[in-house]
């Protein structure tokens, strides 16, 4: 049993000061990822700083129409919030597709953004994993890699990002507010998670001691249809083999604007700009969706057990786009 100190914080300043820039200290809220990894001896914090008392549990609409989400808002609260269901249905759908009710009741918005990969080699302290121990190698490369990534991979790491919520946020667009020892700053959501490259241990752009305080969603696309599709081995409490989150607006049968993000197939929440470009000003037809799916997966790199993910992801993209277009058409019908 490894011992660690435990501290609670009543405000953001106290939390940041207590944490400092020590990389052996961790913030904890719901703990649905952190505590698992501590038990597995993968994470070994010397101190935990509890942020549950911080005033970061509200969802509010800003004057410019964007939605600001506090870091400790739970996944359940966020999925069922009236503003999210009405204006950001893709986010609600993605949240409800993830985990179980019990976990959603505990998991927080910032914690979901910060969750670690479910790669079994990362979670096994006896396995070689460059993400956990830089330079040790990657057992997934020649091991059982059925669940691993085909997009954004490197010769150092092919671990898949596990979040459903983050896929919706990648499609919607968002800004993260961070606060740390050097003050407050903001970063675009799609710039926050890093590709593994030759430094897979660096998973995000947080600086030492920084805390995510707010997530502000971009203004919704007017009249857009939304659909989140998650393909998995079983219908509930399972991680995606491939998922697609689509936002599409249509004018006179032509796609005016489209957003597409993929999960289950990439090393980070994957916004497919290639697919979006292929969709722009094209007819809302299956042939267009298939062209976009090809564009999205053109740079995919399969390994021994996960090559099936490439055609599976293409299918997910076509289906998600088709359903999002239907949703857009229904939303714009005269009442």
Q: Supply angle C-alpha 327, 82, 92, rounded to 5.
A: 55
The helix or strand, by DSSP H or E, that contains position 323, with its residue range, turns out to be: helix 309-332
Q: Do 79 and 96 touch, CB atoms closer than 8 A?
A: yes
Q: b/e string for 230-259 if b means 16 or more Cβ within 10 A?
A: bbeeeeeeebbbbbbbbbbbbeeeebbbbb
* pLDDT confidence bin for 331, thresholds 50/70/90: confident
Q: pTM, whole model, 2 decimals?
A: 0.97
Q: Per-residue pLDDT averaged across 52-57, rounded?
A: 98
The helix or strand, by DSSP H or E, that contains position 49, with its residue range, turns out to be: strand 47-50
Q: How far apart are CA 211 and CA 103, in angstroms?
A: 22
pLDDT tens column, 220-249:
999 999 999 999 999 989 999 999 999 999
What six digits make up the tokens of 272? 């497919």
Tokens 């999960």 found at: 263
Domains of the chain are 5-50 (3.30.43), 225-332 (3.30.390.50)
Instruction: Look at phi and psi of residue 143 and say left if phi exceeds 0, alpha if psi is from -120 to 50, else beta.
Output: beta
What six digits make up the tokens of 199? 């430094």
pLDDT for residue 163 is more than 50: yes
E strand intervals along 83-239: 174-180, 183-188, 211-217, 225-231
* pLDDT confidence bin for 187, thresholds 50/70/90: very high
Q: How far apart are CA 135 and CA 120, in angstroms?
A: 18
């Amino acid at each position: 049993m490894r011992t660690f100190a435990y501290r609670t914080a009543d405000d953001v300043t106290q939390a940041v000061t207590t944490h400092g820039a020590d990389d052996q200290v961790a913030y904890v809220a719901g703990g649905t990822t952190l505590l698992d990894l501590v038990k597995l001896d993968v994470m070994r914090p010397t101190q935990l700083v509890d942020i549950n008392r911080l005033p970061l549990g509200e969802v509010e609409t800003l004057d410019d129409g964007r939605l600001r989400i506090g870091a400790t808002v739970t996944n359940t609260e966020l999925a069922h919030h009236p503003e999210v269901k009405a204006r950001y249905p893709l986010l609600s759908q993605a949240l409800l597709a993830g985990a179980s009710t019990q976990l959603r009741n505990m998991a927080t918005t910032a914690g979901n953004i910060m969750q670690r990969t479910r790669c079994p080699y990362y979670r096994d302290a006896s396995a070689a994993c460059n993400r956990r121990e830089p330079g040790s190698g990657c057992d997934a490369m020649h091991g059982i890699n059925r669940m691993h990534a085909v997009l954004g991979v490197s010769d150092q790491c092919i671990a898949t990002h596990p979040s459903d919520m983050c896929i919706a946020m990648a499609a919607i667009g968002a800004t993260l507010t961070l606060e740390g020892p050097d003050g407050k700053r903001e970063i675009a959501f799609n710039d926050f998670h890093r590709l593994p490259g030759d430094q897979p241990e660096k998973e995000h752009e947080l600086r030492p001691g920084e805390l995510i305080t707010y997530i502000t969603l971009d203004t919704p696309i007017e009249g857009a249809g939304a659909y989140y599709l998650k393909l998995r081995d079983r219908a509930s409490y399972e991680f995606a083999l491939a998922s697609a989150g689509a936002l599409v607006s249509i004018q006179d049968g032509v796609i005016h604007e489209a957003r597409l993000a993929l999960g289950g197939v990439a090393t980070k929440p994957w916004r497919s700009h290639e697919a979006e470009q292929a969709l722009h000003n094209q007819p809302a037809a299956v042939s267009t969706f298939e062209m976009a799916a090809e564009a999205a997966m053109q740079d995919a790199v399969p390994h021994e057990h996960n090559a099936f993910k490439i055609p599976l992801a293409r299918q997910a993209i076509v289906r998600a786009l088709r359903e999002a277009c239907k949703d857009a058409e229904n939303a714009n019908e005269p009442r």
